Amino acid sequence: MRSFQELTVESNNWIEDSLTKVFDEELKDDITVKASYYSLLAGGKRIRPCLMYYSAKMLGVDVQKVLPFAVSLEMIHTYSLIHDDLPSMDNDDLRRGNPTCHKVYGEGIALLAGDNLLNRSFELIFQEVVKDNSLALAGATMARLSGIHGMIGGQSIDLSSEGTDIPVETLYELQRKKTGALLEAAITMPCYVGGKTGEELELLKKLSEHVGLAFQIMDDILDVESNSEELGKSTGKDERDNKSTFVSIFGLDGAHSKLNAEVEGCNKVLGRLVELGYNTEELTTIVKFLSERTF
Residue 228's pLDDT is what? 59
Residue 163's pLDDT is what? 81
Residue 213's pLDDT is what? 95
Q: What are phi and psi of 95, to 5 degrees?
A: -150, 130
Q: What are phi and psi of 166, to 5 degrees?
A: -95, 155
Relative orientation angle of helices 136-146 and 107-131, to the nearest 10 degrees: 160
Per-residue pLDDT reduced to its tens digit, 245-294: 999 999 999 999 999 999 999 999 999 999 999 999 999 999 999 988 87
Burial code (b: 16+ CB inside 10 Å, e: under 16) for 157-177 equals bbeebeeeebeeeebbbbbbb
Residue 244's pLDDT is what? 83
Question: What residue ranges in the chain does DSSP mark as E strands?
Answer: 94-95, 98-99
Per-residue pLDDT tens listing for the chain (295 residues): 899 999 999 999 999 999 999 999 999 999 999 999 999 999 888 999 999 999 999 999 999 999 999 999 999 999 999 999 999 988 899 888 899 999 999 999 999 999 999 999 999 999 999 999 999 999 999 999 999 999 999 999 998 888 888 999 999 999 999 999 999 999 999 999 999 989 999 999 999 999 999 999 998 999 888 765 655 555 556 666 667 899 999 999 999 999 999 999 999 999 999 999 999 999 999 999 998 887 7
Instruction: Report which of 173, 167, 182, 169 is spatially closest to residue 154, judged by C-alpha positions.
Output: 173
CB 71 within 8 A of CB 19: yes
Q: How many CA atoms lie within 13 Å of 68's alpha carbon, on the beta-carbon side? A: 17
CB 290 within 8 A of CB 7: no
Residue 161's pLDDT is what? 86
pTM: 0.93
Q: For residues 150 and 144, what is the distance between their CA atoms, to the nearest angstrom? A: 6
What single DSSP character describes residue 24? Answer: -
Q: What is the signed CA dihedral for 46, 215, 245, 222, rounded to 10 degrees?
A: -70
Q: For residues 155 and 254, what is the distance between their CA atoms, to the nearest angstrom? A: 24
